[in-house]
Amino acid sequence: MVELTRRQEIESAASSLFHERGYAGTSVRDIARAVEIQGASLYAHVASKQDVLWAIVRGMADRFEGAADAVEAAVPGAIADGQGALLSALVRAHVGVVTEDIERASVFVHEWRALEDGRRDEIALQRDAYEARFRAVVANGVRTGAFARVDPPTTVAYILTALNGIVAWYRPDGRLSARSIADAYADLSLRAVSIDEGA
């Protein structure tokens, strides 16, 4: 088993607490208590509660971006096969990131607006760039006739809202596996643009 550094322990504990109570509902003392150190000692490892939130949110934003990069780099067949296959691969990758670390994903989805202005703006730009990748796929599908004449921004907002909503109910030990959820959401996303998964 890999031994976590104290900083990693703090971020892990904070993720659980932010997920359960929200950022505003979690104190520095709560985080310190969760890792069994004194409140003042926490500052030897992190600058502030805001610093911990930033690390979690920025880390998840990078993971979503990296997953999309991997799709485009490692699944050239998806691009060759058409926008439907690429959209499906992007959806599956997103579900994979969410279900791999549901607590951090929940913090990313619900608590990023609690970041300080400059950091919040940076994440907003990163989120928009990520969403733009989905919009480009849908727009290309519409342009080539592979997809129905849907509005790309509206359609992508619908898809990503559904994907991010997984954080509200997914449990690793629940009835549905991460793979089955990815399959289902890929199918639903393709139905949203009126094509069959095998098309």
Q: List the one residue out of 159, 12, 186, 183 whose CA is nearest residue 86.
A: 186
The set of long-range contacts for 184-191, using a CB threshold of 8 Å and a minimum separation of 24, is 185/91, 185/92, 185/95, 186/88, 186/91, 186/92, 186/95, 188/162, 189/87, 189/88, 189/91, 189/159, 189/162, 190/84, 190/87, 190/88
Q: Report the predicted TM-score, pTM, of the whole model to 2 decimal places.
A: 0.90
Q: Evaluate if residue 4 carries a pLDDT over 70.
A: no
State the average pLDDT over residues 38-51. Answer: 84
The pLDDT value recorded for residue 199 is: 43
Per-residue pLDDT at 186 exceeds 70? yes
Domain definitions of the chain by residue range: 49-192
**pLDDT exceeds 70 at position 79:** no
**Helix ranges (DSSP H) in 49-151:** 49-74, 76-81, 83-100, 102-111, 117-144
Q: At what angle do helices 178-192 and 83-100 cross, to 10 degrees?
A: 140
Q: CATH topology for 49-192? A: Tetracycline Repressor; domain 2 (1.10.357)
pLDDT band at 1 (very low <50, low <70, confident <90, very high): very low
pLDDT interval class at 83 (50, 70, 90): confident
Pick from 75, 73, 102: which is nearest to 88 by CA? 75
Helix (H) or strand (E) holding 28, with range, is helix 28-34
* Band (80; pLDDT cuts 50, 70, 90): low
**In the structure, what pLDDT confidence band is assigned to residue 194 with cuts at 50, 70 and 90?**
confident
- N- to C-terminal Cα separation, the chain: 43
- Over residues 112-168, the pLDDT tens digits come to 999 999 999 999 999 999 999 999 999 999 999 999 999 999 999 999 999 999 999
Dihedral in degrees, nearest 10, Cα atoms 31, 55, 176, 138 = 150
